[in-house]
Amino acid sequence: MNVNKEIKKGEFENLKKKHEEEIEQLQNKCKHDKKKWMLEWWAIGHSTGYDVLVCLNCNKNIKHRPGKIELFAKKKKVVK
């Protein structure tokens, strides 16, 4: 059975765009009253070196700052 025949061209992009617009609307009406500084990761186990202030209601990244949060600070290795 070829399930892909059911999917129209550009359908994924349209859904993705619609989804992103809905998230944006949600984030625009959110008051961001529950926030938390978190480490920013570019991959699991790889910090970007920045912290990000995330709204716990709508998941928006509100602010970005050079990293102040240190996880495993004493064991931290610089990986290049």
Alpha carbon separation from 80 to 28, 60, 71, 77 (Å, rounded) = 38, 29, 18, 10
CA distance 59 to 34: 10
Binding site for Zn ion (CB under 5 A): 30, 32, 55, 57-58
Complex with Zn ion: residue 15 or 56, whichever CB lies closer: 56
Complex with Zn ion: residue 15 or 26, whichever CB lies closer: 26
Complex with Zn ion: residue 47 or 62, whichever CB lies closer: 62
